Amino acid sequence: MKRRASIWVSMLVLVAFSAAALAADVPSDEKKRTSLNKYVTALEAYEMWKADPQKVAILDVRTPEEYVFVGHPAMAVNIPSEVWTGKWSDEKKDFPLAPNPDFEAQVKTRFKTDDTLLVICRSGHRSAAAIERLVAAGFTNLYNVVDGFEGDKVADAESYFKGKRMRNGWKNSGAPWTYDLDPNLVFMQKP
């Protein structure tokens, strides 16, 4: 009986260690941190989803334009936390995004507040901000995919890829991604 109990304890320790090994470290980039302190890399997110696709979902919070034209994880549900305005900002020299005012409500129509959601954006910044919005709306089991879909920029000044998002990220990890659209997953703006 003692031997059987010892085996069970050993198995529980191994399972706990395996789950902890899947969790990414707290990101050094403060913009990628969340109040829940739950982080995964893109490849860890794929492995978590693959291990239990009925209980783990990938939530892609990028704009529909990014989801469609840059590609997306094949199983990701797209609900943008911010939307493209199409208005140029002279100050930022860019087209800034605006918050999606219906984001929390749209996520609640698709998921329960205790569902396990692996939240992904381009690089881990918007997903962290989206997680904070969802925490305020009552969600409790959210992981930030810290390297996002496209990954971090290459910093090496000698690289041809300097400044390009070719370091880590879902697209560079070997996890499956696609340009194909599934009407059950893609964001549909209500008229």
Residue range 44-102, pLDDT digits in tens:
999 999 999 999 999 999 999 999 999 999 999 999 999 999 999 999 898 999 999 99
Q: What's residue 3's pLDDT? A: 52
As a whole number, mean pLDDT of residues 116-131 equals 97
Domains of the chain: 25-178 (3.40.250.10)
Which residue, 55, 59, 54, is CA-closest to 107? 59
The residue assigned the tokens 């789950």 is 19
Q: What's residue 23's pLDDT? A: 67
> How many CA atoms lie within 13 Å of 53's alpha carbon, on the beta-carbon side?
6
Which residue, 143, 115, 122, is CA-closest to 131? 143
pTM, 2 dp: 0.84
pLDDT tens-digit map of 2-60: 555 444 434 433 343 344 445 688 988 899 999 999 999 999 999 999 999 999 999 99
Give the C-alpha separation, 49 to 117, whole Å. 9
